């Protein structure tokens, strides 16, 4: 399955902007394997990556599993063995179980660049580009504390799936920071949504009924945030239970405007994609690479969102 929206016809390679020079590598094909199809975070990443590939005279093809699931992403990576791109840019959907497939491709001479999520094993990728997700969680806690005005109550944290490096760091960063900046707010713990909005909605409605003093929800990504907003709507708690989301999908941005979210921690996926391509090209061309690159994050509120609209995610390039 391929992402919709970017680079002309779905699933087609982009034409390179220029042909290679005499010393350029003969294989200038890059492959991007994102976490899940039709998702604005990855579409925005793909847009940034495609523009950078075109600029560098490389082709970039993008593939995506139907679900954020290593059993679906793994075979896509394994099949690249027949295609042998010069580099694989990948957002691994599990920090452990995606390692064998990625190592197998690496052993064929394909450069590996991690974009967004990463493996625990840091020896596989030449470079990893992501938001500072711990800092993103901390920012969410600080924002919740600030908006909460010293009230006392309970807070629910929604993570996606165990083994997702990014959302795990956000949840941990949030919980640790909340203890420091808002001792009056107590986390009732981290619950997993399987990266399904419907599960997130159900966890929120359940928490609303089981926890009468529920005062806030931190949703660590787009799907959990969209689902949490649905849950608060069906429980009639919009605006009463504070919702801090992560990412800035069109639906989340709309939810921020309408008051379903009080803040969003937005990433810069296009910059992650662009830096991923730049690192891939450096690795292919034998130039120095940077092992870890951090991309910007920003808190959006209803008051300031329109001055920061460059952070809103895209559904097409
Ligand atoms: O939050 C992003 C990404 O950073 C995370 O790793 C997985 O979920 C998203 O793609 C949003 O759905």
Pick from 93, 132, 166 the residue to mutate for probing ligand 1's pocket: most ligand atoms within 8 Å of its CB: 166
What's the CA gap between 91 and 15, in Å, rounded? Answer: 24
Whether the CB of 175 sits within 6 Å of ligand 1 = no
Taking the centre of ligand 1 as the mean of its atom positions, its distance from the CA of residue 22, in whole angstroms, is 40
Q: At what angle do helices 197-210 and 222-234 cross, to 10 degrees?
A: 50
pLDDT digit string, tens, across residues 196-253: 999 999 999 999 999 999 999 999 999 999 999 999 999 999 999 999 999 999 999 9
| Residue 284 vs residues 57, 172, 277, 288: alpha-carbon distances, Å | 13, 35, 10, 10
pLDDT digit string, tens, across residues 42-51: 999 999 999 9
ipTM higher than the 0.95 cut? yes
What's the CA gap between 107 and 192, in Å, rounded? Answer: 34
Taking the centre of ligand 1 as the mean of its atom positions, its distance from the CA of residue 222, in whole angstroms, is 6
pLDDT score, position 303: 96
Taking the centre of ligand 1 as the mean of its atom positions, its distance from the CA of residue 273, in whole angstroms, is 13
Whether the CB of 39 sits within 6 Å of ligand 1 = yes
Whether the CB of 142 sits within 6 Å of ligand 1 = no
Pairing status of strand 263-266 against strand 298-300: antiparallel
Q: pLDDT class for 310, splitting at 50, 70, 90?
A: very high
pLDDT digit string, tens, across residues 68-118: 999 999 999 999 999 999 999 999 999 999 999 999 999 999 999 999 999
How deeply is 225 buried, as exposed, middle or buried, from its count of CB atoms within 10 A (0-12, 13-18, 19+)? buried
Residue 11 has pLDDT above 90, yes or no: no
How deeply is 59 buried, as exposed, middle or buried, from its count of CB atoms within 10 A (0-12, 13-18, 19+)? buried
pLDDT digit string, tens, across residues 23-59: 679 999 999 999 999 999 999 999 999 999 999 999 9
What's the CA gap between 114 and 201, in Å, rounded? Answer: 30
Whether the CB of 117 sits within 6 Å of ligand 1 = yes
Q: Quick one: DSSP state of residue 241? A: B
Taking the centre of ligand 1 as the mean of its atom positions, its distance from the CA of residue 256, in whole angstroms, is 18
What's the CA gap between 100 and 123, in Å, rounded? Answer: 12
Q: Which atom of ligand 1 is nearest to the CA of 246?
A: 1
Burial 179-210 (b: 16+ CB within 10 A, else e): eeebeebbbeebbbbbbbbebbbbbbbebbee
Residue owning tokens 């990893």: 128
| Residue 28 vs residues 3, 7, 103, 227, 286: alpha-carbon distances, Å | 21, 17, 21, 40, 13
Residue in 299, 277, 305 with CA at minimum distance from that of residue 127 = 277
Pairing status of strand 111-115 against strand 127-131: parallel
pLDDT digit string, tens, across residues 237-246: 999 999 999 9
Residue in 158, 173, 258 with CA at minimum distance from that of residue 214 = 158
Residue 61 has pLDDT above 70, yes or no: yes
Q: pLDDT class for 19, splitting at 50, 70, 90?
A: very low
Whether the CB of 46 sits within 6 Å of ligand 1 = no
Question: Cβ(223)–Cβ(193) under 8 Å?
Answer: yes
Which residues, 6 or more positions from 296, have their beta carbon under 8 angstroms from its beta carbon?
131, 267, 268, 271
Whether the CB of 227 sits within 6 Å of ligand 1 = no
What's the CA gap between 19 and 275, in Å, rounded? Answer: 21
Pick from 3, 40, 41, 140 the residue to mutate for probing ligand 1's pocket: most ligand atoms within 8 Å of its CB: 41
Q: pTM of the full predicted structure? A: 0.92
Q: Which atom of ligand 1 is nearest to the CA of 267?
A: 4
Helices (H), the chain: 40-56, 70-79, 99-106, 133-148, 165-181, 197-210, 222-234, 250-258, 269-284
What's the CA gap between 148 and 184, in Å, rounded? Answer: 10
Pick from 73, 136, 247 the residue to mutate for probing ligand 1's pocket: most ligand atoms within 8 Å of its CB: 247
Question: Cβ(300)–Cβ(249) under 8 Å?
Answer: no
Whether the CB of 268 sits within 6 Å of ligand 1 = no
């Amino acid at each position: 399955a391929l992402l919709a929206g970017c680079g002309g016809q779905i699933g087609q390679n982009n034409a390179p902007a220029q042909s290679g020079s005499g010393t350029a590598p003969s294989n200038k094909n890059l492959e991007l394997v994102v976490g899940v199809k039709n998702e604005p975070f990855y579409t925005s990443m793909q847009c940034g990556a495609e523009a950078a590939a075109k600029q560098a005279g490389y082709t970039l093809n993008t593939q995506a599993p139907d679900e954020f699931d290593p059993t679906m992403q793994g075979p896509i990576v394994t099949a690249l063995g027949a295609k042998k791109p010069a580099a694989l840019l990948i957002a691994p959907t599990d920090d452990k179980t995606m390692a064998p497939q990625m190592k197998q491709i690496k052993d064929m001479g394909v450069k590996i660049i991690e974009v967004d999520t990463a493996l625990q094993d840091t020896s596989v990728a030449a470079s990893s580009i992501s938001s500072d997700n711990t800092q993103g969680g901390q920012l969410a806690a600080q924002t919740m504390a600030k908006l909460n005005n010293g009230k006392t109550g309970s807070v629910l944290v929604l993570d996606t799936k165990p083994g997702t490096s990014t959302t795990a760091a956000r949840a941990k960063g949030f919980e640790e920071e909340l203890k420091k900046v808002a001792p009056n707010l107590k986390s009732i713990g981290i619950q997993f949504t399987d990266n399904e909005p419907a599960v997130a909605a159900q966890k929120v409605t359940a928490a609303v009924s089981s926890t009468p003093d529920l005062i806030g929800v931190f949703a660590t990504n787009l799907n959990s945030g969209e689902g949490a907003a649905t849950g608060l709507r069906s429980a009639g708690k919009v605006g009463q239970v504070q919702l801090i989301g992560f990412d800035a999908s069109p639906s989340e941005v709309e939810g921020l405007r309408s008051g379903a979210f009080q803040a969003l921690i937005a990433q810069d996926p296009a910059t992650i994609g662009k830096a991923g391509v730049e690192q891939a090209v450096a690795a292919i061309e034998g130039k120095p690479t940077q092992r870890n690159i951090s991309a910007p994050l920003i808190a959006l509120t209803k008051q300031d969102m329109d001055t920061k609209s460059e952070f809103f995610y895209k559904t097409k390039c």
